[in-house]
Structure formats: structure tokens, C-alpha cells
Amino acid sequence: MSLNNVQPADGKLGILIVGNGAVATTFMTGVFMARKGLAKPVGAMTQYDKIRVGRGADKRYLKYGDIVPLASLDDLVFGCWDVYPQNAYQAAIYAEVLREKDIEPVREELEQIVPMPAAFDHNYAKRLNGDHIKPCHTRWEMVEAVREDIRRFKAEKGCARIVVLWAASTEIYVPVDESVHYHLADLEAAMHADDRQRIAPSMCYAYAALSEGAPFIMGAPNTTVDIPAMWELAEKTRMPIAGKDFKTGQTLVKSGFAPIIGSRCLGLNGWFSTNILGNRDGLVLDEPENFRTKEVSKLSTLETILRPDLQPDLYGHGNDEDTQYFHKVRINYYPPRNDNKEGWDNIDIFGWMGYPMQVKINFLCRDSILAAPLCLDLCLLSDLAARAGRYGIQRFLSFYLKSPMHDYTANESPVNNLYQQHTLLKNALREMGGYEADEELD
């Protein structure tokens, strides 16, 4: 079967990560351990999932790497930026996600990953007090400094390609402003003018990555690439972008369980979600302005799955205005749990003749353990998309993200239903592998 003109995954793939915290170090450690045969990359769909290609007598179930040319784990090279200067080994020990015995075998590899100074604005993450920061006076200087880092890393490490992944903290909420965020020329003018209110540091990383021919993945709920100006840049540079916010715990459950309610035509009065989390992410989210960014992301999941406009009897009641069910999300910083996040969901449903029922879900998860394989998949699939000539918003990666990017200027609705997202992913892989995209998105 032809590979549909997808370029081969020859040479080294550099993965540059913004942030050297719990998620990044767990991701890197797991890849190094897997390369040595000392751990398995459980949770990574690119390593385990099999999908059907062909129909009837031609039907086969293949791993992703047998359908499309994916970069090998052996060809991955890591680098990072962080506001703290500790190398990846020190950061992994500090994060206390992994046991020391699961870090020590790859200590040498991790110690070689020393973060570059971060392009950082303390006003965007007030709870972080690191001083390993670039001496940039303007947003445009940030862009230029990050571009130089990417070029230098690519040359020094002999990488054929680069992917940039945001695995840093959630920034304060930046509302989309049409005068700055809708057109690339306006965005660039604002960067040159050092507009610190409307240009977040993450936008500088994204601009730099795309300009250097690197796909960019937004793993936090930051506005960043979710603006028309960045879509324009992605089109101009012919680079893929994906975002936003890794879908790891509670929202993964929500996007999978809500379709059960919808497909059974049960009613929903309210869905209350709360989390306790104690790592650095929890610390940053304890700041109200940063939590607002996360809240917008987490609240967006249900509304496109259980729609009161389509089923007013089932989903049109429960809030103060009585226009749809009541949906509340809370995150509480609780240091004793560190990276072991706990999510509680209380779901008030109703059935035949309006009789009320309840569902309770208690997910005691490990945040970075769920995020690490997701980082691997997003990096490998974004690199694949670039080699396949796919650019702009990569909707097929919505499976991995809490608040999937979509063209809201054209009133497009995001796909949040987990099973529909999986169909998008499978169809994209089939297409890139030269097979028919033969599943309907109902």
C-alpha cells in the first residue's frame, strides 16, 4: 500500500519541551527507560493501539507504525526551557512522581538535559519564583531568543526535524482580542510594541517554533495558538498546530461518560466536578487568574456532547436561567497529594417520567503518568502530520486534548465526544497511510 506521499521519518527528531517539571521529566524518563527495555510505554497509542484498515477480505488490524512512518523512540532527542536551572535528573527527583529506582538507570541521559533559560513573564504565573530567565526587554526579543535556541539545538544535536511541546504551567487567562489576535500582521505589531497584556510568553514560543519549521503543541489551556493570527502563521509556514490542554484525568472520564448519558437518552440536571492536586501545576492554579484559564477549558467539554438546543427535554434544565444543566468545575491545591490528583464527579441524571438518579465517579489518578504517553503520541503524530504535508489545526489530535481547537470564527463546534475523536484519529491515520478513511463521524 502506498504511503500517500508521506516523507520518511529519517534522522533524529528533536523534542523541545517548554517546562522541565513533573510532566516533562516523567515523559523523558519513560522514553529513556523504554529504549533500554527497562519499562514499557503503557498508555501510548502510537506504541500499542491497533486500528482496522481495509474491509472484507482485505481487513487487517495494524499498529500505527505499520500504517504510517513514525519516528522511532531511538531517534528522539530531548531539550527544554525552564525558569529553574536544575537538569532533568534533578527535576525528576524533585518532582517525586517516579521512584528513584525508576530514574537511576537513566540518570546519565537525564543529567545531560540542562534547561535553557525560559522566556518568562512573572505576571503570567505569579506562583513561580524561578530566575533562570532570558533577559528579554520586549516580546519580540523573546521570539528572537527562542528562535535562536531552536536553531542552535537543532544544529548541535544533529536533528533532522524539531517539535515544540508546551508542558509548562497554565498562564493567566488572555481573552481573544480581534484587534491583536485575528490577523498575523496585528499580532507581530503587538509583539514589536511589547504588548504584555495581550501577548503571552507562550505566544512567543509558538511563533518562534512555527517560524523555525517546527510543529507546536499547546499542552495547557492557554490561548496561545487558539487564535486566527496563529492559524494564519501555521498556514504560511505550512506547519501543524495542536491544542489545547492535555486530556488526562477528569475530562477524559467526562468525554467518555457523557456519551453514555446521551446515547441512552437520559436527562442531565447537573454535573459537579472537583479536583485536588498538589504539584507545581496545582500551586499555579491556586491563583484565581490562572484557574480561570483552566476553568474555561474544562467547562467546554460537556456542552458539545449534551446539547440543550437539540434535546431541550433532556438537557434544557438545571441552572439559574433554566436553559441547560448546571455544570461546575473546581480545582483545589492540596500539597499532600503532590502529583497524585484526585477527581470527584457528582452527576445528577434523570430517567423515565423524570425520576432522579445519581452517578458518582472518584478517579484517583497520577497526573504525569497519564500525561507522559499523551506527550509522546502528540509529538510523534505532529511530526507525522508535518511530513504528510498537513498544516494548520490538527483536528484529528482532539482525542488527546481537553479543549480541542476549532475555527470559532466560522461557528465551527469542537468535537468533544471521545468516540468521535477516536474516529477522527483513525481516519487521519488511514488517509496518511494511503487507505480509505472509511468510518463515519456520526
Q: What is the pLDDT of residue 128?
A: 86
Q: What is the pLDDT of residue 297?
A: 61
CA dist list (Å): 144 to 84, 205, 212, 230, 361: 21, 10, 11, 17, 47
Residue pair 391/234 in contact by the 8 Å Cβ criterion: yes
Nearest CA among 373, 362, 364, 361 for reference residue 337: 364
Residue 351: give its domain's CATH number.
3.30.360.10
Angle at 405 between CA 63 and CA 359, to 5 degrees: 80
- Compute φ and ψ for 276, nearest 5 degrees: -120, 135
Rounded Cα distance, 80 and 331, in Å: 27
Q: What is the pLDDT of residue 250?
A: 87
**Is the domain of 85 the same as that of 188?**
yes
**Is the domain of 273 the same as that of 358?**
yes
**Is the domain of 182 the same as that of 165?**
yes
DSSP 183-206: SHHHHHHHHHTT-TTT--HHHHHH
Task: Give domain status of residue 7, yes or no.
Answer: no
Nearest CA among 373, 369, 347 for reference residue 358: 347
Which helix (H) or strand (E) segment holds residue 291: the answer is helix 288-303
Q: How many Cα atoms within 13 Å fall on the side-chain side of residue 183?
A: 4
Rounded Cα distance, 140 and 153, in Å: 20
| Nearest-10 Cα torsion for 408, 410, 411, 416 | -50
Task: Give domain status of residue 407, yes or no.
Answer: yes
**Is the domain of 385 the same as that of 291?**
no
Task: Give domain status of residue 440, yes or no.
Answer: no
**Is the domain of 360 the same as that of 372?**
no
Q: How many domains, in total, are found in the chain?
A: 2
**Is the domain of 66 the same as that of 94?**
yes
Q: What is the pTM of this model?
A: 0.93
Q: What is the pLDDT of residue 3?
A: 47
Q: What is the pLDDT of residue 286?
A: 67
Rounded Cα distance, 315 and 308, in Å: 5
Rounded Cα distance, 94 and 108, in Å: 16
Q: What is the pLDDT of residue 2?
A: 40
Domain span at 260 = 250-364
**Is the domain of 170 the same as that of 84?**
yes
Q: What is the pLDDT of residue 16?
A: 99
Residue pair 228/182 in contact by the 8 Å Cβ criterion: yes
CA 276 to chain centre: 20
- Compute φ and ψ for 134, nearest 5 degrees: -70, 140
**Is the domain of 127 the same as that of 18?**
yes
**Is the domain of 237 the same as that of 267?**
no
Q: What is the pLDDT of residue 298?
A: 60
Task: Give domain status of residue 442, yes or no.
Answer: no
Residue pair 401/242 in contact by the 8 Å Cβ criterion: yes
**Is the domain of 229 the same as that of 111?**
yes
**Is the domain of 290 the same as that of 380?**
no
Mean pLDDT per 10-residue run, the chain (442 residues)?
76 98 97 98 98 94 98 98 98 96 98 98 90 96 98 98 96 95 98 97 98 98 96 98 93 94 97 86 70 66 92 94 92 86 94 97 94 98 98 97 94 93 97 94 78
Q: Which of 314, 337, 364 is the last residue of a domain?
A: 364
